[in-house]
């Protein structure tokens, strides 16, 4: 949450910062601001509420000759969306931007007698004043004294008024990446802001102080010793972070799924079955566990729900899925024989990170499934399997979900093989069925007409229900999250059999019910539940496989996915559910890629 960028170099700092903030806007879009040294080497601050475009207008014809500055796009935590609460915050000699939460800001306010000085309601401004009180002309000494006083998470970029041309960066938990490029020195919360200028970058190690100037980036550890940054190469190109002719990132990312799946699966197949040797994962990780614990949030957690429904019957060991933010309070039963699967697109979700740390502290081995290379979860887990979806920019997760699922299916298959639940042939057949699901996604990408028709029905409703049983229920959960988070239509997913224990009371004439019935073992039972809602006036949107037999009058709209094995229907179903959310949101005229109140990467608890 919150996008950060800093630049020192020969080019226009204002332009680089504003362009970078536009790239980073998906991290937060309540307000934006920048601070740059002007041609008199004085810090000028500009801030505005709303999108980066408002800040761009505010900065027009100003700060043309600036070569060093910092910029921020905010997702509000402490204090409402106001210009005062927007970053940068200035306190005496210190001007800073912050991503994260300073938990002891109240105590610091009292300790440093800041009550009368604060002009905002933010924890970040408190941090700025504390740092200013410690500053006596040497940024390192001040930052070294400052860090132990802070509780919480932070990524800071700091300017000192009497140090023109210098930016200082430091972080704990919240991500910061940096690069010295032919265009100058850059630091940002995400790679997307650096990609137009470089293909090499490094992750700023926690508590390390970075000093950026136009000529170099120097890193110092907490003892003041200079250390060498460890550069990595970016594994995607800048096109991947563009819309490339699509009206929205979300639609582009939905369309990228078949390719992303191939990139994620194919390099891990040896003789037709999954092999993780190149990822450094030993088979003992899979053979020596007697329980699987999955931790994740949001869409990633719903991918975990699908994995549980696949893995438990196949492996015959308990698979528990926990919402990462609840996991710590569940007093989970874990030990060294528990394998923890940690799922996260960003690799920075703080609750997922905390859950992973708890699992590790209880002796469990952690295997992370992560999309962003070098992210905190990827670095801290015992093992990591990267998904190769490329950057996901739309706040609503789409391609990250399907590639997470593909890795979970690969893990299920390899585990079944090493635990002798699968013969070599069984494993190869399983993978063949997984590969067969990819063209079925392509088929569903072309069903726009039917989906637009049903979207035009959904927009006039304030509630939509999703029902399904077993795996179909797990898919429904993700479908309802997708719809509610971008279209703002209240959407709930229920196990179809559970409806009549209360929720069916909400079904009345015309209420849309999206019923998913792709699982052989529960098909007839789900169809009975569909009849129950139809009898009460529901507008039924039924999703089945091609050859399913259903009475024509049961469904108002019937969407058929290709005839693939029922264990793999999640892939085409995901496309259908994503397109339903997408077109509904477009028809409502809402911001598809940046829905209200949300941000892409949730780095606060």
Which positions touch ligand M6R (CB under 6 A)? 297-300, 344-346, 349, 352, 395-397, 481, 485, 598, 601-602
Closest to ligand M6R by CB, 35 vs 324, is 324
Smallest distance from ligand M6R to CB 301, Å:
7
Q: Which residues have a Cβ under 8 Å from the Cβ of 446 and sit 6 or more positions away?
A: none
> In 345-386, where do the E strands start and end?
365-370, 383-386
The string of DSSP letters for 497-510 reads: GGGGGTGGGG--TT
Smallest distance from ligand M6R to CB 537, Å:
31
Closest to ligand M6R by CB, 394 vs 410, is 394
Distance CA(412)–CA(408), nearest Å, equals 6
Length reported for the chain:
605
H-only helix segments in 35-102: 52-59
**Dihedral (Cα; 31, 250, 465, 343), 10-degree rounding:** -90
Distance CA(114)–CA(198), nearest Å, equals 41
The string of DSSP letters for 186-249 reads: EEESSGGGTTTT-SEEEEPPTTPEEEE-SS-EEEE-TTS-EE----EE-SS-GGGGS-TT-SSH
The sign of the torsion formed by the CA atoms of 472, 477, 478, 481 equals positive
Distance CA(331)–CA(497), nearest Å, equals 30
Smallest distance from ligand M6R to CB 294, Å:
13
Smallest distance from ligand M6R to CB 113, Å:
38
Closest to ligand M6R by CB, 125 vs 485, is 485
447 DSSP 8-state letter:
-
The sign of the torsion formed by the CA atoms of 495, 499, 502, 505 equals positive
Smallest distance from ligand M6R to CB 340, Å:
15
Distance CA(324)–CA(340), nearest Å, equals 12
Distance CA(294)–CA(65), nearest Å, equals 52
Smallest distance from ligand M6R to CB 371, Å:
8
Q: Which residues pair with 561 in a beta bridge?
A: 545
Distance CA(97)–CA(234), nearest Å, equals 25
Smallest distance from ligand M6R to CB 58, Å:
29
Closest to ligand M6R by CB, 268 vs 482, is 482
Residue 185, SS3? strand
Closest to ligand M6R by CB, 300 vs 334, is 300
Smallest distance from ligand M6R to CB 73, Å:
17
| Residues 551 and 527: beta-carbon distance below 8 Å | no
| Residues 101 and 604: beta-carbon distance below 8 Å | yes
Closest to ligand M6R by CB, 37 vs 386, is 386
Residue positions annotated with a catalytic role: 2, 600
Closest to ligand M6R by CB, 344 vs 480, is 344
Closest to ligand M6R by CB, 395 vs 464, is 395
Smallest distance from ligand M6R to CB 85, Å:
23
- Which residue of the chain is nearest ligand M6R when measured via CB? 298
Q: Which residues have a Cβ under 8 Å from the Cβ of 344 and sit 6 or more positions away?
A: 296, 297, 300, 352, 368, 369, 370, 371, 375, 377
- Residue 574 phi/psi, 5° resolution? -60, -45
Closest to ligand M6R by CB, 229 vs 390, is 390
């Amino acid at each position: 949450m919150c996008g950060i960028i800093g630049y020192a170099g020969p080019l226009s700092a204002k332009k680089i910062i504003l362009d970078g903030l536009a790239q980073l806007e998906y991290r937060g879009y309540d307000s934006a601001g920048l601070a740059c040294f002007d041609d008199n080497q004085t810090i000028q601050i500009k801030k505005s509420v709303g999108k980066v475009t408002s800040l761009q207008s505010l900065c027009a014809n100003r700060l043309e000759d600036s070569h060093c500055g910092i910029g921020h796009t905010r997702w509000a935590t402490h204090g409402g969306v106001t210009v005062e609460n927007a970053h940068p915050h200035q306190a005496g000699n210190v001007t800073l931007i912050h991503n994260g939460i300073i938990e002891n800001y109240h105590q610091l306010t009292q300790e440093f007698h800041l009550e009368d000085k604060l002009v905002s309601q933010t924890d970040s401004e408190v941090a700025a004043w504390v740092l200013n009180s410690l500053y006596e002309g040497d940024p390192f000494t001040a930052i070294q004294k400052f860090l132990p006083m802070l509780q919480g998470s932070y990524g800071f970029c700091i300017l000192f008024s009497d140090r023109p041309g210098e930016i200082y960066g430091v972080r704990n938990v919240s991500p910061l990446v940096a690069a010295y490029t032919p265009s100058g020195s850059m630091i940002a919360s995400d790679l997307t802001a650096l990609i137009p200028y470089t293909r090499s970058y490094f992750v700023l190690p926690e508590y390390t102080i970075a000093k950026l100037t136009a000529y170099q980036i120097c890193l110092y550890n907490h003892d003041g010793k200079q250390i060498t940054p460890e550069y990595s190469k970016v594994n995607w190109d800048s096109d991947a972070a563009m819309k490339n002719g699509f009206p929205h990132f979300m639609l582009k990312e939905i369309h990228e799924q078949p390719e992303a799946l191939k990139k994620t699966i194919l390099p891990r197949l040896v003789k037709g079955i999954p092999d993780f040797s190149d990822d450094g994962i030993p088979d003992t990780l899979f053979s020596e566990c007697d329980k699987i614990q999955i931790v994740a949030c949001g869409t990633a957690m719903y991918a975990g729900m699908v994995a549980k429904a696949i893995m438990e019957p196949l492996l015959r060991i308990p698979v528990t899925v926990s919402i990462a933010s609840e996991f710590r309070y569940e007093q989970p039963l874990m030990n060294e024989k528990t394998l923890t699967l940690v799922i996260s697109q960003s690799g920075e979700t703080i609750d997922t990170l905390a859950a992973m740390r708890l699992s590790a502290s209880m002796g469990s081995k952690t295997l992370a499934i992560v999309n962003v290379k070098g992210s905190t979860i990827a670095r801290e887990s015992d093992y990591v399997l990267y998904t190769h979806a490329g950057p996901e920019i739309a706040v609503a997760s789409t391609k990250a979900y399907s590639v997470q699922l593909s890795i979970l299916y690969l893990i299920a298959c390899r585990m079944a093989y090493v635990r002798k639940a699968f013969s070599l042939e069984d494993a190869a057949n399983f993978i063949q069925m997984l590969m067969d699901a990819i063209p079925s996604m392509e088929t569903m990408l072309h069903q726009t007409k039917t989906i637009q028709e049903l979207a035009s029905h959904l927009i006039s409703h304030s509630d939509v229900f999703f029902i399904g049983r077993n795996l179909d229920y797990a898919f429904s959960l993700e479908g309802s999250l997708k719809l509610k988070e971008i279209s703002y239509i209240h959407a709930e997913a229920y196990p179809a059999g559970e409806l009549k224990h209360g929720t069916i009371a909400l079904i009345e004439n015309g209420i849309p019910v999206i019923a998913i019935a792709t699982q052989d073992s529960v098909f007839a039972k789900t169809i009975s539940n569909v009849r129950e809602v139809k009898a009460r006036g529901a507008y039924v949107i039924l999703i089945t496989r091609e050859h399913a037999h259903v009475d024509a009058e049961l469904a108002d709209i019937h969407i058929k996915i290709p005839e693939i094995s029922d264990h793999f229907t999640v892939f085409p179903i995901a496309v259908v559910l994503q397109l339903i959310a997408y077109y509904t949101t477009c028809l409502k005229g809402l911001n598809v890629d940046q829905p209200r109140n949300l941000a892409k990467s949730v780095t606060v608890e």
